[in-house]
Amino acid sequence: MAKELWKGNEAVAEAAIKAGCRFFFGYPITPQNEIPEYMAMKMPQIDGCFLQAESEVAAINMVYGAAGAGARVMTSSSSPGISLKQEGITYIAGAELPCVIVNMVRGGPGLGSIQPAQSDYFQACKGGGHGDYRLIVLAPASVQEAVDLVQEAFDIADQYRNPVMILGDGMMGQMMEPVEFKEVKKRSLPEKTWATVGTKGKRKPNVVNSLYIDAADCHNHNVDLFKKYAEIEKNEVRVDTYNVENAEIVFVAYGTTARIVKNAINSLAKEGIKAGLIRPVTLWPYPYKAIEEAAEKASVKAFMSVEMSMGQMVEDVKLGANGKKPVYFYGKAGGAFPTPKGIAEEAKKILGGAK
């Protein structure tokens, strides 16, 4: 198929439909409105269901119900709305239901701004809701990658019976790029024998639930969840690297920021400074190993986490580097973004100091 220009938000919606998603529950919020709007236009044409919920709290609980009932289901929002969805997300994780949640992040805290940001790293990767649970978090850096990852996200969710979050930002949602909708490789998926579809009088009732009133039972449920999470950590880590070989400074950045960093790397190269990039594609599970391996390279003098936040992922970079090399941070928050120039200057400062 030839490439077509797609706006990030609309491409994400179309990708979900192509992946077999027929249920979408959402609530308007900038900068992701084109996702529900696209779903409102398309779902009625393909016998799917788009519903605008009365709130994000309701939307995520509609997702809970539909996922428990065995459907491929998605919701999308942006930061303040995702905060509201956290209640539902922890219930979905606790009840082990598959679904896809898109977060086109904007500046916070509070009402913040509507411009692109990456300050939801913590609420995506480190809980957000209560209890010990993990969300699988995928961070595309282009509209094409968003399309590919959304399609796969539904399979990943089904395979592990776990919610998957696509973590983009306002820039990803709003920009247009050429996209090709490729056939993604389908995983062989377990049957949803646990779903509430009616017993038909042929089996014992299924119960979708996250309550384990006995502490020991609840503990065991957590242990089981963590066996599953270990499996995901083993199988699903994804990372992209650029020029890490012989780099003196290794940037770590995800999503659209990684692209800004690439510009900085190329301008540093013109000045004879070797810089590389580690771009986590999965934010959970996190590619600690790629960081660790780079930290062990003699050429690498320092890491720099570059984010559209005041410094959130940098904590994971530090865990990966494990004290072997210094880890610096550079970022802009609230909807402002680091520029290639700013990044390059900061890197030169660090290298000057690290020599």
Partner 1 sequence: MAVVFEKTRGLAEKPFHYCPGCTHGIIHRLVAESLDELNLIDDAIGVAPVGCAVFAYDYFNCDMQEAAHGRAPATATGIKRVHPKSAVFTYQGDGDLASIGAAEIVHAAMRGEKITTIFVNNAIYGMTGGQMAPTTLVGQKATTAPYGRDENHAGMPLRISEMLATIPKAVFVERVSVHDVKHIIQAKKAIKKAFQTQMEGKGFSLVEVVSTCPTNWGKTPIEALKWLQENMIPYYPLGNFRNTEEVK
Partner 2 sequence: MAHEIIMAGFGGQGVMAMGKILVEAAMEEGKNVSWLPSYGPEMRGGTANCSVIVSDEPIGAPIVTEATAAIVMNRPSLDKYESMVVPGGALLINSSLIDKKATREDIKVHYVPANDIAQELGTDKVANIVMLGAYIQASGAASADSIMNIITQMFAGKKATVIPLNKEALLRGAACIK
Ligand X SMILES: Cc1ncc(C[n+]2csc(CCOP(=O)(O)OP(=O)(O)O)c2C)c(N)n1
Binding residues vs partner 1 (CB under 8 A): 27-30, 33, 36-37, 40-41, 44, 50-52, 54-56, 80, 110-111
In this structure, what are the phi and psi dihedrals at residue 209, rounded to the nearest 5 degrees? -160, 150
Q: Name the residue nearer to partner 1 (CB basis): 144 or 174.
A: 174
Q: Name the residue nearer to partner 2 (CB basis): 104 or 124.
A: 104
- CA–CA dist 167, 76 (Å, integer): 10
Of partner 1, partner 2, ligand X, none, which one does residue 168 interact with (CB within 5 to 8 Å by kind)? Answer: none
Of partner 2, ligand X, partner 1, none, which one does residue 274 interact with (CB within 5 to 8 Å by kind)? Answer: none
- Contact residues for partner 2 (CB under 8 A)? 3, 5, 30-31, 114-115, 170-171, 174-178, 256, 259-260, 262-263, 266, 337, 339-341
The contacts of residue 201 (CB under 8 Å, 6+ apart) are: none
* CB 171 to partner 1: min, Å: 18
* Neighbour-count burial of 318, counting CB atoms closer than 10 A to its CB (0-12 exposed, 13-18 middle, 19+ buried): middle
- CA–CA dist 121, 302 (Å, integer): 22
Q: Name the residue nearer to ligand X (CB basis): 86 or 210.
A: 86
Of partner 1, ligand X, partner 2, none, which one does residue 254 interact with (CB within 5 to 8 Å by kind)? Answer: none
53 binds ligand X (CB under 6 A): no
Q: Side chain identity at 21, as an amino acid letter?
A: C
65 binds ligand X (CB under 6 A): no
Of partner 1, ligand X, partner 2, none, which one does residue 352 interact with (CB within 5 to 8 Å by kind)? Answer: none
Spatial CA neighbour of 85 closest among 97, 76, 72, 94? 76
> Which single residue is written with the structure tokens 């084109």?
34
Retrieve residue 34's tokens: 């084109």
Q: Residue 250: beta bridge partners?
A: 276, 303
Residue nearest to ligand X (CB): 29
Please give the distance of CA 42 from its chain centroid, rounded to a whole number: 24
Strand 176-179 to 275-280 pairing: unpaired
56 binds ligand X (CB under 6 A): yes
* CB 111 to partner 1: min, Å: 6
String of contacts with ligand X for each residue 9-48, x by CB under 6 A: ------------------xxx-------------------
Radius of gyration of the chain (CA): 21
